[in-house]
Amino acid sequence: MLLHLIEIVLFAYLAACVLYNLVLSVAGRLARKKKPAPLTADTAHARIAILVPAYKEDTIILSTARSYAQQLYPATRFETIVVADSLQPATVRQLRQDGVRVVEVSFDKSTKAKSLNAAFEQLEEEYDLALICDADNVLEASFLLKVNQAYQQGYYAIQGRRVAKNMDSPFAVLDAVNEIVANHLYRKGANALGLSSSVIGSGMAFHYPLAKSILKEIQATGGFDKVLQLLLIEKGYPIHYLEDACIFDEKVENPEAFQNQRKRWVSSQFVYLRTYWGKGWQQLFKGNLNYFNLAICQNILLPRMILLAGITCCTALAFLLQRFLWIPAWGWAVVFLLNILSLLLPVPRLFFTRYFLTALAGLPKAVWIMVSLMFRLKGANNTFIHTKHTKTEIDNPLLDAARK
């Protein structure tokens, strides 16, 4: 009896995870692309502060900051501000010579939230929008124009579409595809169902006074974006996903970087599930489905690679041990196929002809890393884990394929 109960609970949980992802995947696929209102000669140009926290990013920050000067946006209406945490003096001097504003900070324990709060405290100018980017992020030339257009239409919290800057290793390809799937499910799919998009930590634009006030409430070491989105929803600001506005992000190239990055992400997911469990249910009973979705539903989900591994193993075992089990093997097979479908719907066809074998080569190692991390998460959310960046060139053929 106990064995059957465990089996039923496990099946129900994994099936619910798959169903949640599948609904969002189908919704994203069926969503009609909204045409933005046409720009006119008298369209206002918001004053935008591009805030770039840079912790020991001397290799990449000069290239990143210079790339922002290529924006097709009035130069007098935006400013690049690098929050320099532990940058070399020569790097800081060169940034200033390039016309970039630099806010120097130093902390015993560095976090992105601390850097952003320090910048807000030192900035005296009045801005309309704060765009938060990572030190490796490059914006497409029309990014600010598109963000401004959304802002003028009344959106005060905007998430751009983060896409891969590089696809030059099996892990980079897996990371790129993971980003495609996440964008489709938790941003495009969520908006299509009338839910708020989740944010991703960069490529995020907010009404400047709103961002300044909310960030003062955040002290998180890891996963600050998870706290940020809940505070926005709680204050009545849904997050709009701006699919046409692309921001390029460097993808990890090797198992070590992949492990460090995912350890931080997975740890923060379960920490915030525990932290906001009670409040998430309270908000649901008050009718705040957006809060419940971001606080409970998305945090209780297994990461997609772990979900794939778990369902694959359970399906195989169901066929091998069918006579001992209560749930028929075909039930597990259906869940397995629906999970695969939820992952394949967002992926452009070019991926399968060009990158599928590369991704397949790196998948077993990536899955093993993700599964093993589940047993080594203690304290990870309280530790600042820095991912080093080196890429300056953009090479992502999947970007144009996804737009077709």
Per-residue pLDDT at 359: 77
CATH of span 48-254: 3.90.550.10
Taking a C-beta distance cutoff of 8 angstroms, is the pair 398, 348 a contact?
yes
For the chain (length 404 residues), average pLDDT per consecutive 10? 82 96 96 65 85 92 94 95 94 95 88 90 90 94 96 96 86 87 96 95 94 86 82 95 94 67 72 91 95 95 89 92 86 95 91 79 76 61 58 68 48
d(CA 11, CA 334): 11
Taking a C-beta distance cutoff of 8 angstroms, is the pair 203, 129 a contact?
no
Taking a C-beta distance cutoff of 8 angstroms, is the pair 141, 70 a contact?
yes
Residues of the chain with CATH 3.90.550.10: 48-254
- Sorted by sequence, the CB contacts under 8 Å of residue 214 that are 6+ apart come out as 206, 228, 231, 232, 235
In the block, which residue shows the tokens 């003028």? 152
d(CA 203, CA 134): 8
Q: Is the dihedral of CA 395, 401, 402, 403 positive or negative?
A: positive
Per-residue pLDDT at 97: 95
Per-residue pLDDT at 63: 93
Residue 100 identity: V
pTM confidence score: 0.88
Strands (E), 278-368: none
